[in-house]
Amino acid sequence: MPELPEVETIARTLAPRVFGRRVSGLRVLLPKSFQDPEHLAACLEGAGIGAVWRRAKLLMIPLYPAASARDPEPAALVMAFHLKMTGSFFVHPQGTPPLRHTRLVFDLDNGERLFFDDIRTFGWGRLMRADALGAWPFWASLGPEPLEPAAAALGSALATRLKDSRRAIKAALLDQTVVAGVGNIYADEALFAAGLDPSTPAGQISGAGYQALAGSLQGILRQAIRECGSSIRNYRDAGGNAGAFQNAFAVYGRAGQPCIRCGMPLESRQIAGRTTVWCSLCQGNR
């Protein structure tokens, strides 16, 4: 957490609050939350904020530095934040003091304050030129966005990428170089919807199985975005609102409970170091 639907929801709810605003100040409360915070501070004052967007599990905040006599046409910048387990962004009224878990405070030209909060402190951000994103190794390693191609194209791409893989299909879905943005929750839910055993070696799944998986994955992700993500512990959108998709979980977090399709108790095991829940009757191989 947060996974693709949660980060997408944060981007959509944060964008209208900060787009077009200028940054008037920065307070760094936890230096490890941002790579090279001194460089960030030097570039930030007076910078305009562009349209917030998402790539994989990254929240992207474009910046347009203020022109100066020394640099009348400064390059566009972007802050990339990986929220990890508990990172979040909230806009607060003028004068709001940092909260217990606030790590960065961005003062805006309308008096409001943008907080980056992170309970577990695993989240991080970095600043770079927007035209240099492709040279960032982490960025270059990311797999395709699961919602951008048509389901048939995504299914074919997954089948091609994984045709010789011996890894469990659940482990493959968690690999951000295979497909970007999918984590434990939505991998479990998509595999259930597609009727695939999460421990099946990826190379043994048929073309029809991958088509079913692609359709299920896109359907699950879109439904989760419509419901503003899943709030299990700490996740909230940029307005402080909880998501609702957790109320629709078919398998995630339901080990030992009856399957919603057949009534059999759901099973659980560790795959790729993550707790995995599935129905041994409904999730056969394809």
Question: In whole angstroms, how far apart are CA 258 and each of 232, 251, 262?
Answer: 20, 9, 8
Which residues, other chains included, contact 220 with Cβ-Cβ below 8 Å and sequence gap of 6+?
186, 189, 190, 193
pLDDT band at 235 (very low <50, low <70, confident <90, very high): confident
pLDDT of residue 69: 56
- Tell me the C-alpha distance between 219 and 74, whole Å: 41
Dist. CA 63–CA 120, nearest whole Å? 27
Residue 260: left (phi > 0), alpha (psi -120 to 50), or beta?
A: alpha
Q: Are residues 13 and 135 in the same domain?
A: yes
CATH number, domain containing residue 167: 1.10.8.50
Give the count of alpha carbons within 13 A of 235, CB side only. 22
Q: Which of 50, 24, 46, 47 is nearest to 110 (CA)?
A: 24
CA torsion through residues 11, 16, 20, 23, sign: negative
Are both 31 and 110 inside the same structural domain? Answer: yes
| Burial group, residue 207, by CB count within 10 angstroms (0-12, 13-18, 19+) | middle
Query: Mind telling me the catalytic residues?
Result: 2-3, 57, 274
Q: How many domains does the chain have?
A: 2
For residue 271, the cross-strand partners are 274
Q: Please check whether residue 286 lies inside any domain of the structure.
A: no
Mean pLDDT calculated for residue range 223-233: 90
Length of the chain: 286
Please say whether the dihedral angle defined by the alpha carbons of residues 97, 103, 107 and 111, taken in this order, is positive or negative. negative
| Cα 130 from Cα 144, distance rounded (Å) | 19
Give the model confidence (pLDDT) of 103-131 as tens digits: 999 999 999 999 999 999 999 999 999 99
What is the per-residue pLDDT for 198? 98
**Which segments of 228-266 are extended strands (E)?**
none
pLDDT band at 12 (very low <50, low <70, confident <90, very high): very high
In a domain, 283, yes or no: no
Q: What is the CATH number of the domain that holds 117?
A: 3.20.190.10
Task: Report the alpha-carbon distance of residue 191 to residue 172 in Å, rounded.
Answer: 12
pLDDT of res. 258: 98
In the block, residue with structure tokens 């056969």: 284
The pLDDT confidence band at residue 285, using thresholds 50, 70 and 90, is low
For 26, the domain range is 4-141
- How far apart are alpha carbons 231 and 37 in whole angstroms? 30
What pLDDT shows up at residue 17?
Answer: 96
Among 121, 141, 161, residue at a domain's last position: 141
Look at residue 286 in the predicted model and tell me its pLDDT.
Answer: 58
Other beta carbons less than 10 A from residue 17's beta carbon:
18
For residues 245 and 226, give the distance between their C-alpha atoms in angstroms, rounded to a whole number: 9
Domain end position, chosen among 87, 112, 141? 141
